Amino acid sequence: MSKSIFGIIGLGVMGKSISLNIAEKRFNLSVYNRAEGNEKHVVNDFLSINQTFKNIKGFTDLDTFVNSLEQPRKILLMIPAGKPVDIVINKLIPLISEGDVIIDGGNSHYINTKRSIEMLKSKNIDFLGAGFSGGEAGARKGPSIMPGGSKEGYKKVSKILETLAARDFQGNPCCTYIGPEGAGHYVKMVHNGIEYAEMQLLAELFALMSRSMSYEKISEMFSSWNQGSLSSYLLEITAEILLKKDGDHYVIDLILDKAGNKRTGAWSSSSALELGVPNTMMSASVFARYITSFKDKRVEFSKRIEVQSNSILNLKFEDLKRAYQLARIVNYHQGFELMSVASKHFNWNLNLSEIARIWTNGCIIKSTLMENCVSIFRSSESVLDDSIIFSSTSEYEQSIASVLKEGISTRIALPCFQAAYNYWISITTNRLPANIIQAQRDYFGAHTYQRIDSPLHKFFHTNW
């Protein structure tokens, strides 16, 4: 029997879609899923539904699965991040050979990925931590892929990964080698952090607009914004979501207001805190999700608040649009800044223009602004370094101020817009009140300070 050139472990939603994507590209493929508990029939069901693909072989025994692959074996793990990845790697080690490649396609933490790379390197096995974005549809039709880790390993699998990836505006694959260690998973983590803030901004717009606009009207407005420079996948799907009905009800009205998360936004924020990067929008979005989970408390406290409910939206639509434009620019600026600092810190040599390019299609944060970032990062170090972007952002400043005022007067929390505004004001203010912080630190702890009338290498202490 001829051997398969690629293997996939894990037939969850993403694993199935990637398998079909690869099979459609005519690669011979082996798939494995355990046959325990409620996963007993996963492999058989998958094969019987997809009988048209004669190039897929299914396995429930790991040893036979591994033996069905040609060498060097190329095995993609599409399983939940964390412990499951370690367990499967440990089961694979005695079965595979030197020179084989394992790719972890889940949202693993980049530190775990680095650890797995080192452990497997000592056994001469190449390991790649590859971020896959695009959800189920992206995985099926073409995801954006962010592989990092062993460069040798990438060379062995690049043909397959690049074939199954989405295409950018010039027809090139939305897949590129990101960098060593956990760089691929780090970049996917930041992608998700940007995604969290993009989602939160749309939720905040919805909170403001739904006070006095029908869902149809909001959807119409989002769709019209989506025709121009604001266009993005998340804006497009939100316009669609608003119209969906279940019987007489809008689905959106039936969904409980408690947001879930699988940690990648929190990891991005904590990396920003560790590296000293003011990534305020991601953190605001993570905390905004966390606050929603205190539903019982919110219900209880809300009963104690007497509000004059004002349902009239006292805002120009143009201000909403311009505020959204500013916030998105700041979000992209912060996200790319985090990768830029991480790149220097970890010595990864990340190519930000290439990262923006592979995010122009297939992924959740694809947008027109992302397309602009491809060229911005060819000549600039950051999004706001671009003079056109900078001057349009400053033109939007008054609009975001009006939106925030409206939020305050109508008692609508706008944490992500607020974070964008405060960042923009701070980063464009010559003198901030950090002199007070430095004086306080010196007062209680003799931490010393620098002076504006002395060279910066000199530190002073005052006997307060």
In this structure, are strands 245-246 and 249-250 parallel, antiparallel, or unpaired?
Answer: antiparallel
- Which residue has the closest beta carbon to ligand 6PG? 133
d(CA 450, CA 435): 9
* Interface positions, 122-151, toward ligand 6PG (CB under 6 A): 133-135
Binding characters for ligand 6PG, 94-123, by CB under 6 A (x = yes): -------------x----------------
d(CA 76, CA 8): 5
Closer CB to ligand 6PG, 257 or 306, in the complex:
257
Provide the 10 A C-beta neighbour count for residue 367. Answer: 25
Closer CB to ligand 6PG, 256 or 305, in the complex:
256
Q: How far is the CB of 338 from ligand 6PG (least distance, A)?
A: 16
Among 25, 40, 41, 262, interactor with ligand 6PG by CB under 6 A: 262
Q: How far is the CB of 62 from ligand 6PG (least distance, A)?
A: 26
* Interface positions, 242-261, toward ligand 6PG (CB under 6 A): 260-261
Q: How far is the CB of 141 from ligand 6PG (least distance, A)?
A: 13
Closer CB to ligand 6PG, 31 or 166, in the complex:
166
Among 358, 363, 383, 416, interactor with ligand 6PG by CB under 6 A: 363
Binding characters for ligand 6PG, 264-293, by CB under 6 A (x = yes): xx----------------------------
Closer CB to ligand 6PG, 58 or 143, in the complex:
143
Q: Is the peptide bond before 72 cis (omega within 30 degrees of 0)?
A: yes
DSSP-assigned beta bridge partners for residue 367: 232
169: three-class secondary structure by DSSP:
coil
Provide the 10 A C-beta neighbour count for residue 41. Answer: 12
**Residue at 186: amino acid letter:** Y
Q: How far is the CB of 251 from ligand 6PG (least distance, A)?
A: 18
Residue 403 C-alpha from the chain's centroid: 26
Q: How far is the CB of 24 from ligand 6PG (least distance, A)?
A: 20
Yes or no: say if 253 and 390 are a contact pair by the CB < 8 Å rule. Answer: no
d(CA 384, CA 374): 14
Joined together, the tokens standing for residue 99 give 């020179």
d(CA 14, CA 140): 8
Local structure of residue 29 (DSSP, 8 states): E
* Interface positions, 436-455, toward ligand 6PG (CB under 6 A): none
Local structure of residue 94 (DSSP, 8 states): T
Q: Does 193 bind ligand 6PG (CB under 6 A)?
A: no
Question: 353: exposed, middle or buried (C-beta count within 10 Å: 0-12, 13-18, 19+)?
Answer: middle
- List residues with catalytic annotation: 188, 195
Q: How far is the CB of 131 from ligand 6PG (least distance, A)?
A: 7
Binding site for ligand 6PG (CB under 6 A): 107, 133-135, 192, 195, 260-262, 264-265, 363-364
